[in-house]
């Protein structure tokens, strides 16, 4: 397992982590199996959105004596009422739901207190214009949550949250299918077949801006729905009309700027261990570019997706990184010091491009790389 820094939190998290979907309705033994397999393969990041008391208690029991081995991302606003899950902003319910979570997990803090999902403007205003954000910030001040977070399926809401400066981590749905779709308040629309009937080209600009803004502001992204709820892994259900491999989905998500960890709702130890092997695969094994390149109706033409396929460059320019840093600078309108220093640290710079064209033959997405190198050299001055 490899590990990455999660934004500016200081947390160094495993590239793949454990979600809790597979724990819903599971026996305590199965939960134990999932947790043990996750820890065995080096996962140190657990996301718990569930309000189900048994899921919370089962996980708490599994973590007894090893709380310090994992970072727990728990959701605030996911409550249990009348034996049912309830997403709520009710001041009478949310704090009680948080206390219940800590008690059942047998811990006195969460590493990330994640405001449970905000997908539309009205809810955003309720959360950030009312008592709830104050409550979450108070929890952070008191050390009961170490970092703040917000989950969303809507890139516009996620972007707004990142721009508040109040949110340290976003839990966001990332996969190549969603990335082609414009922001929608109704998350189910992202998966509606009619929205894939027309040819779709390139990453939606708001999603693109979200990733770059998070990277620039040091907001870490934890990825959910990397497999599209499993649909992307199926020839029958994938909107692409053919299945992706799990490692391709994980790698796609982790090559978005600011993405640090993919959490999966694994349902068996086998699934956990399979995903946990991602970090050990070769670049070739997890390369999703050939899959995306050959899609019949969808295209990423002309847009760098940082896949790295264009290497090697005879001069040694890391083209994907140059493009990434340049895009980060463009999204901010000027070159931030942090981006400039990362660019400076590259061994070779865009200005060294000799326009040999070798990379053009290797790029599956017809990115005008020579032009891009010239633009980056202009922006960074070398
Ligand atoms: S230029 Fe093309 S091959 Fe290179 S990283 Fe970008 S998309 Fe991939
Ligand atoms: S065209 Fe420039 S960036 Fe591309 S391989 Fe040649 S030297 Fe490298």
Topology of domain 3-289, CATH: TIM Barrel (3.20.20)
Q: Is the pLDDT score of 183 beyond 80? A: no
Taking only the tens place, the pLDDT of each residue in 297-331 is 666 678 788 888 898 999 999 999 999 889 888 87
- Return d(Cα 185, Cα 190) in angstroms, integer: 9
Question: Which atom of ligand 1 lies closest to the CA of 320?
Answer: 5
The model's confidence at residue 203, banded by pLDDT at 50, 70 and 90, is confident
| Averaged pLDDT, 202-230 | 90
- Return d(Cα 74, Cα 111) in angstroms, integer: 8
- Return d(Cα 236, Cα 210) in angstroms, integer: 30
The residue ranking higher by pLDDT, 153 or 188, is 153
Helix (H, G, I), strand (E, B) or coil at 176: helix
What confidence score (pLDDT) does residue 185 get? 60
Ligand 2: residues with CB < 6 A are: 313-315, 317, 319, 353-359, 369-370, 373
Alpha carbon 241 to chain centroid distance? 24
Q: Which residues contact 62 (CB under 8 A, 6 or more apart)?
A: 31, 32, 35, 36
ω before 100 within 30° of 0 (cis)?
no
What confidence score (pLDDT) does residue 292 get? 83
| Beta strands in 182-315, from DSSP E residues, in sequence order | 200-201, 220-224, 259-264, 298-299
The closest residue, in CA terms, to atom 7 on ligand 1 is 304
Strand partners for 76: 115
Quote the tokens at residue 19. 């979600």
- Return d(Cα 174, Cα 262) in angstroms, integer: 9
Rounded to 10 degrees, what is the CA torsion of 221, 224, 225, 229? 180
Quote the tokens at residue 185. 């308040």
Q: 316, 369, 376: which to mutate for ligand 2, most atoms within 8 A of CB?
A: 369
Question: Which atom of ligand 1 lies closest to the CA of 306?
Answer: 5
Q: Sketch the domain layout of the chain as residue ranges.
A: 3-289, 319-380
Instruction: Name, of 187-201, 255-269, 328-342, the range with top average pLDDT.
Output: 255-269
Taking only the tens place, the pLDDT of each residue in 139-162 is 999 999 999 999 999 999 999 999
Nearest ligand to the CA atom of 301: 1
pTM of the model: 0.81
């Amino acid at each position: 397992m490899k590990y990455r820094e999660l934004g500016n939190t200081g947390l160094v998290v495993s590239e793949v982590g454990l979600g809790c979907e597979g724990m819903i309705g599971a026996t305590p033994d199965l939960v134990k199996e999932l947790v043990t397999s996750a820890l065995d393969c080096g996962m140190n990041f657990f996301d718990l959105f569930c309000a189900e008391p048994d899921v919370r208690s089962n996980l708490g029991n599994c973590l007894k004596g090893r709380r310090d081995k994992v970072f727990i991302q728990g959701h605030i606003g996911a409550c249990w009422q009348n034996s049912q899950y309830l997403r709520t902003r009710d001041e009478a319910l949310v704090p009680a739901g948080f206390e219940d979570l800590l008690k059942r997990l047998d811990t006195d803090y969460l590493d990330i207190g994640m405001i449970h999902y905000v997908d539309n403007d009205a809810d955003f205003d309720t959360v950030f214009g009312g008592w709830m954000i104050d409550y979450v910030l108070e929890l952070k001040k008191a050390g009961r949550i170490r970092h703040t977070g917000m989950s969303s399926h809507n890139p516009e809401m996620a972007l707004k949250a990142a721009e508040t400066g109040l949110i340290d981590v976003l839990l966001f749905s990332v996969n190549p299918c969603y990335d082609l779709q414009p922001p929608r308040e109704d998350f189910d629309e992202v998966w509606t077949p009619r929205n894939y009937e027309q040819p779709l080209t390139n990453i939606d600009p708001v999603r693109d801006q979200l990733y770059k803004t998070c990277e620039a502001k040091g907001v870490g992204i934890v990825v959910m729905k990397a497999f599209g709820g499993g649909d992307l892994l199926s020839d029958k259900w994938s909107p692409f009309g053919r299945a992706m491999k799990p490692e391709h989905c994980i790698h796609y998500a982790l090559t978005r700027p600011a993405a640090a960890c993919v959490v999966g709702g694994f349902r068996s130890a086998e699934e956990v261990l399979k995903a946990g092997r991602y970090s050990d695969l070769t670049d070739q094994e997890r390369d999703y570019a050939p899959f995306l390149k050959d899609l019949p109706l969808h295209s990423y033409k002309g847009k760098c997706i940082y896949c790295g396929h264009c290497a090697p460059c005879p001069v040694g320019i890391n083209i994907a990184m140059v493009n990434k840093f340049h895009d980060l600078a463009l999204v901010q309108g000027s070159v931030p010091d942090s981006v400039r220093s990362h660019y400076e640290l590259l061994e070779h710079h865009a200005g060294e491009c000799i326009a040999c064209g070798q990379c053009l033959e290797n790029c599956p997405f017809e990115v005008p790389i020579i032009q891009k190198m010239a633009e980056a050299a202009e922006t960074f001055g070398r």
